[in-house]
Amino acid sequence: MITTPNHAPRAPVRPTLVRSAQGDRVDPYYWLRDDSRENPEVLAHLAAENAYTERCLAPWKPVQEEIFREIVGRIPPEEASVPYLELGYWYYSRYEAGREHPIYARRRGTLEAPEEVVLDANERASGHEYYQVGALEVSPNGEWLAVSEDFVGRREYTLAFKNLRTGEWLSERIADVEAGMAWANDDATVVYVEKDRETLLGRFVKRHRLGTDPLADTLLFEQSDPSFYTGVSKSKSHRFVFLHMESTVSSEWRFAEAADPTLEFRVFLPHRRDHEYQIEHVGERFIVRSNWQARNFRLLEAPIGEYDSPAPWRELVAHREDTYIEDFEPFERFVAVSVRHAALARIAIHPLGESTFAPRFVTSDESAYTMALSINPGLTGDVVRYAYSSLTTPTTIYDYDVRTGERILRKRDAVLGGFDPAAYRTELIFAPARDGARIPVSLVCRRDVRRDGSAPLLQYAYGAYGLSMDPAFSSARLSLLERGFVYAIAHVRGGQELGRAWYDAGRMQAKRHSFEDFIDVTRHLVAEGYAAADRVYAMGGSAGGLLIGAVANLAPGAYRGMVAQVPFVDVVTTMLDDGIPLTTNEYDEWGDPADPADYAYMLSYSPYDNVRAQDYPALLVTTGLWDSQVQYYEPAKWVAKLRAFRTDDRPVLLHVELDAGHGGKAGRFERHRETALEYAFLLALEDARGAGDATG
């Protein structure tokens, strides 16, 4: 049981007027917002929340530690990735026993050559409570490293440079940048994106020359439209530096010759609403993934010099109503295409030019799985590297020979502790929605768990931004499965598992479908005997945390407990504030509050605004003080309001990572402490059920 001591933290009510052209609202807990993260009263309140959660779960601390040891015990102490060859070096990453962060290394020419350490992230993390590598790129001649590093958890990266011949770091460092960068072909110039200091959006595309003062860096482009995310990358051919801009419903790519000292960018195709595209370069053409006259996208080719209109582009892979083209990897003789069909992520191979083989899918031995393109740096050859996983199969790296159809196993993640995939079963089913739609659901449990309506169920979903939640393996999840849980991923509308139409049916003024789908999946699983009606738990993070908050308001009686990870719950107030990171990029995801209809619709489901006097499930809410995606004060305010309005005595707990951001703790092992906390919370609720009381 969860012990709930008296005197849970009570945030004082200090009414603040939130103004809008659509009508003003009073926010009783707005004062919890502190952009500096230094207000003593706010920090004291967050510390009190952490202390309260610790006290409530104190009897379950041994279980939490047991689960943490289980999770860590399944991870091999030493592990290495599959090497890949690029510009004369074999690159890989590896972990050493007892260390939290990877070592990035390479060998020149052959795998028998001496190892060269490119970056030891453990050394860089030393002395910091948080450390994460954003991206790293080696110069074309192999002599210089550029790496972006986050020391706070707020995704405000710092760019640093290392001489790989001497091992020395240059003194110049460039703060407040996006993670990605690209080398020019002179081996001395790096293109990067500097963030806006207030919104944290990528705004200034600059070039830096090694050994010079970053304050003198040349501005190549300034993003004036705050609805776009801006990034840079290098073409697979190494001929071009790309500048790409993406909003919810439109794209624009620009390219510059990487050998051009001025790095003058040319527009590939100007952005226009409802046209999304991306490009890659092969030979004398660009390969284009585009939704021009193709809702689920198609692949086309545009000769260099004939790219300013899509009309003359030649089609390579046609549009299909039942198949969504998600990504692609071009080679000289063929293109590998990541597609989604019937809720499964698959890889298709399509010939280019005079290639003689027929288009085909990479095959699988399971009926429910996910595939994704892996690292394929070269354009030549006939082998595609891809990653494969399922809810019962650990991540596996294959090389696929397009000539023979042979799959070559390169690595399967080891799971220590006697893991046997045959002890578990997985399936993909379709649950009926209230409007007749069929919602894909991925399920996994132990084979000895009976489908007789007695099992506990943890149901997870995300349902936003067109991001699909793949049925991938998790060794940490075994700690729940081994305790008899059924685990389900509800592929609700708002994701893209069933194509672009599935996404469009779960955003803007169709957003309620995401919440209703989740509830309908729960009811179906209970009706079909997958779970006991009084043993259902729900989990979601970020935009999935919005889903959890909305479902808590709409169907609180359907769930015994919920875990809301870094939840986006204060929709209207956040979307009214264009100074908060992400807001201006997301008017086409949630709605523009300047539009009366959008405003009213968001207000109708915003979890914080719709908390009311009713019973709620037990709740564990997590956040990070330095979160730049969902500001910490959203979940903090939500918890305060839930405590004030709820009519039951079930626990509402808030856990704040004071040294982390949106992704929680960094580190190979430490990041699982929060997972152990969440699982211990669920098990405590299960124990309380057996005792006939949710709170103790």
604 is catalytic: no
Domain membership of residue 111 (yes or no) is: no
Q: Residues 159-194, buried b or exposed e (16+ Cβ, 10 A)?
A: bbbbebeeeeeeebebebbbbbbbbbbbebbbbbbb
| pLDDT tens for each residue of 12-67 | 999 999 999 999 999 999 999 999 999 999 999 999 999 999 999 999 999 999 99
What pLDDT is recorded for position 154? Answer: 83
CATH of the domain at 645: 3.40.50.1820
Better-predicted residue by pLDDT, 679 or 342: 679
What pLDDT is recorded for position 124? Answer: 96
Question: Three-state DSSP class for 234?
Answer: strand
Please report how the helices 40-56 and 633-645 are oriented relative to each other, as an axis angle in degrees rounded to 10: 60
Judged against a pLDDT cut of 60, whether residue 404 lies above it is answered with yes
Percent of the chain with pLDDT over 70: 97
Percentages of the chain per state (helix, strand, coil), in multiples of 5: 20, 35, 45
Residue 2 and residue 57 in contact, taking contact as beta carbons nearer than 8 Å: yes
Catalytic residue (one of 627, 628, 655, 672): 627
Structure tokens at 681: 């919370």
Q: Number of helices and strands (H, E) in the chain? A: 11, 38
User: β-pairing, 16-18 with 115-120?
Assistant: unpaired
What pLDDT is recorded for position 692? Answer: 59
Which residue range forms the structural domain that includes residue 642?
A: 8-71+601-696
For the chain, the domain total comes to 4
Q: How far apart are the first and last CA of the chain?
A: 5
The CA-based dihedral angle spanning residues 373, 378, 384, 390, taken in that order and rounded to the nearest 10 degrees? -30
Domain membership of residue 590 (yes or no) is: no
Domain membership of residue 596 (yes or no) is: no
Out of 246, 275, 304, pick the residue that ends a domain: 275
Whether residues 441 and 527 share a domain: the answer is yes
Displacement of CA 593 from its chain's centroid (Å) = 26
| pLDDT tens for each residue of 157-180 | 999 999 999 999 999 999 999 999
Catalytic residue (one of 542, 598, 628, 672): 542
Residue 190's nearest CA partner among 246, 233, 244, 149 is 233
Count of CB atoms situated within 10 Å of the CB of 87: 13
Q: Which amino acid is at 574?
A: T
Whether residues 514 and 613 share a domain: the answer is no
Whether residues 307 and 402 share a domain: the answer is yes
Whether residues 389 and 326 share a domain: the answer is yes
Catalytic residue (one of 281, 524, 662, 672): 662
Span of 218-222, 354-358, 522-526 with lowest mean pLDDT: 354-358
Domain membership of residue 95 (yes or no) is: no
Quick one: DSSP state of residue 169?
Answer: B
Cβ-in-10-Å burial (0-12, 13-18, 19+) of 560 comes to: buried
Whether residues 138 and 245 share a domain: the answer is yes
Whether residues 190 and 288 share a domain: the answer is no
Residue 137 and residue 234 in contact, taking contact as beta carbons nearer than 8 Å: yes
Out of 245, 275, 305, pick the residue that ends a domain: 275
Whether residues 285 and 381 share a domain: the answer is yes
Span of 288-297, 533-542, 647-656, 659-668 with lowest mean pLDDT: 659-668
Whether residues 192 and 58 share a domain: the answer is no
Structure tokens at 430: 């379709």
pTM: 0.94
Judged against a pLDDT cut of 60, whether residue 693 lies above it is answered with no
Whether residues 45 and 183 share a domain: the answer is no
Domain membership of residue 660 (yes or no) is: yes
The band of 695, judged by pLDDT with boundaries at 50, 70 and 90, is very low
Judged against a pLDDT cut of 90, whether residue 305 lies above it is answered with no
- The whole-chain average pLDDT of the chain stands at 95
Count of CB atoms situated within 10 Å of the CB of 216: 8
Domain membership of residue 244 (yes or no) is: yes
Whether residues 271 and 283 share a domain: the answer is no
101 is catalytic: no
The band of 696, judged by pLDDT with boundaries at 50, 70 and 90, is very low
| pLDDT tens for each residue of 512-565 | 999 999 999 999 999 999 999 999 999 999 999 999 999 999 999 999 999 999
Mean pLDDT of 339-367: 87
319 is catalytic: no
The residues facing 459 across adjacent strands are 488, 538
Domain membership of residue 170 (yes or no) is: yes
Domain membership of residue 80 (yes or no) is: no
What pLDDT is recorded for position 694? Answer: 44
What pLDDT is recorded for position 355? Answer: 64
What pLDDT is recorded for position 234? Answer: 98
What pLDDT is recorded for position 7? Answer: 84
Whether residues 280 and 253 share a domain: the answer is no
Out of 481, 501, 533, pick the residue that ends a domain: 533
Question: Three-state DSSP class for 111?
Answer: coil
